Amino acid sequence: MTETTNTVSPLEKTISLKLSVDKINAEVEKRLKKVARTARMPGFRPGKVPMKMVVQNYGPQVHSEVLNDELGRTFNEEVQKQDLRVAGTPKIEAADDAGEDSFAFKATFEVFPEVKFGDFSTLEIEKTVVEVSDAEVEKTIEILRKQRATFAESDRASQEDDKVTLDFTGKIDGVAFDGGTAEDFSFVLGKGQMLPEFEAAAKGMKKGEEKTFDLAFPDDYHGKDVAGKTAQFTIVIKKVEAPQLPEVNEEFAKAMGIADGSVEKLRDDVRVNLTREVNNRTKAQTKEAVMNALLKVAEFDVPKALIATETAELASRARQDLKARGMQNVEQIQLPEDIFAAQAERRVRLGLIVSDLVKQNALQAKPEQVRAFIEEQAQSYENPAEVMQWYFQDRARLADVEAVILEDNVVDFTLGKSKVTEKKLSFDELMGNK
pLDDT tens sequence across 220-256: 898 888 999 999 999 999 999 999 999 999 999 999 9
Cβ-based burial of 300 (10 A; exposed 0-12, middle 13-18, buried ≥19): middle
Residue 216: beta bridge partners? 230
pLDDT tens sequence for the chain (434 residues): 455 565 657 899 999 999 999 999 999 999 999 999 999 889 888 889 999 999 999 999 999 999 999 999 999 999 999 999 999 999 999 988 778 889 999 999 999 999 999 999 999 999 999 999 999 999 999 999 999 999 999 999 999 999 999 999 999 999 999 989 999 999 999 999 999 999 999 999 999 999 999 999 999 898 888 999 999 999 999 999 999 999 999 999 999 999 999 999 999 999 999 999 999 999 999 999 999 999 999 999 999 999 999 998 998 888 888 888 887 887 777 778 789 999 999 999 999 999 999 999 999 999 999 999 999 889 878 899 999 999 999 999 999 999 999 999 999 999 999 999 999 999 999 998 75
Cβ-based burial of 171 (10 A; exposed 0-12, middle 13-18, buried ≥19): middle
Inter-CA distances, 279 with 244, 404, 414, Å:
33, 14, 18
- The answer to whether 120 and 417 are in contact (CB under 8 A) is yes
Report pLDDT for 34: 93
CA dihedral 54, 55, 58, 62 (to 10 degrees): 130
- The answer to whether 15 and 104 are in contact (CB under 8 A) is no
d(CA 110, CA 7): 10
d(CA 423, CA 93): 55
Q: Which of 249, 266, 61, 236 is nearest to 165 (CA)?
A: 236
Report pLDDT for 31: 94
d(CA 400, CA 414): 22
Inter-CA distances, 329 with 77, 97, 314, Å:
44, 48, 18
In this structure, how many other beta carbons lie within 10 angstroms of the beta carbon of residue 119? 9
Phi-psi category of residue 47: left, alpha or beta, with phi > 0 → left and psi -120 to 50 → alpha: left
What contacts 24+ positions apart, CB below 8 Å, involve 288-292? 289/125, 289/126, 289/127, 289/128, 290/125, 290/410, 290/411, 290/414, 290/415, 291/350
d(CA 190, CA 200): 9
Map out the domains of the chain with their CATH numbers. Answer: 2-111 (3.30.70.1050), 149-244 (3.10.50.40), 279-431 (1.10.3120.10)
